[in-house]
Amino acid sequence: MSDPQAMPAVMRLARVLDRFPALAVAVSGGVDSLTLASFAHSHGVRLRVIHAVSPAVPAEPTARVRQLAAAQGWDLTVTGTGEFDDPRYRDNPVDRCYFCKTNLYDRIAGLTEWPIASGANLDDLGDYRPGLIAAAERRVVHPLIEADMTKADVRALARTLGLGAVAELPAQPCLASRVETGIAIAAGDLAFVEVAERRLSALIGGGTLRCRITHQGVAVELGEEAMEQAGAVDALMAGLCGEAGRVYAGSRAYRRGAMFVGGERIGA
């Protein structure tokens, strides 16, 4: 019998999906979940795609999900998650993602009896991901992890599937990940972050950037490729913060998990 690990990633994923004649895929709008849904659909899995919207989800990923669903003919459900009704989430502890995913998967379970699948990949296991604990408690399956697929594998599959720009999407955690631990999650802060990051992206031409809500004020983190534009970034952000009555704490180099004060850090 052949060794599954010796198979190409796409063949391993196909073998995993063969166990599921029907699957409800939680799609965030990022490359991982979109690629999983696209491949499952092309593989003949009876598919229900569920996308959750909330103040923590930018408009762009939702538009992307709707566009791909229409192009491929997915059975798409867009639903709210209700995490903002959960004070444990709004308090923004280090394990905030646990409460977010608890609300998400409970909402999806109320919409379908099919197994629920996430787009987590093998690289996600190297970060502190309390959301994976919520998933395990609810028996959510992770086909990309079962197929030993890394982020690079997922991007390669997305290109093979002809998903275009989706294959090159940068990591884009939810907007709540921009808020420093211990600062309550507020819809107004997240709306400010979304607008600021959209303006910043247009200014610097894309790349890695984060608008952070910190205890010292609003800060911007830039990838190495954008640091030479820090002066223009500071000018833009000083204006935005002034208009919004916020303190601007300046720009700095991007650092993963920078919003976690104490405890462990995750990639955000």
Instruction: Look at residue 93 in the predicted model and tell me its pLDDT.
Output: 95
Q: Are residues 183 and 160 in the same domain?
A: no
Residue 257 has pLDDT above 70, yes or no: no
Q: Examine the domain organization and report whether 183 and 144 are in the same domain.
A: no
- The 10 Å Cβ neighbour count of residue 57 is 21
Which residue range(s) make up the domain with 235? 175-253
pLDDT at 206: 79
Does residue 158 share a domain with residue 49?
yes
* Whether residue 16 is found in the same domain as residue 96: yes
Is there a single domain that holds both residue 217 and residue 240? Answer: yes
- Pick from 136, 168, 200: which residue ends a domain? 168
Co-location of 81 and 190 in the same domain: no
Residue 263 lies in a domain: no
Q: Please indicate, yes or no, whether residues 87 and 186 belong to a single structural domain of this protein.
A: no
Assess whether 141 and 243 both reside in one domain: no
The CATH number of residue 135's host domain is: 3.40.50.620
Tell whether 156 and 65 lie within a shared domain.
yes
Q: Are 160 and 32 in the same domain?
A: yes
The pLDDT of residue 170 = 86
Do 100 and 214 have their domain in common?
no
Same domain, 133 and 150: yes
Is position 266 within any domain? no
In a domain, 68, yes or no: yes
Per-residue pLDDT tens digits for 23-46:
999 999 999 999 999 999 999 999
Q: Are 217 and 248 in contact (CB under 8 A)?
A: yes
pLDDT tens profile 109-165: 999 999 999 999 999 998 788 999 999 999 999 999 999 999 999 999 999 999 999
pLDDT of the residue at 258: 52
Residue 97 lies in a domain: yes
Q: Total domain count for the chain?
A: 2
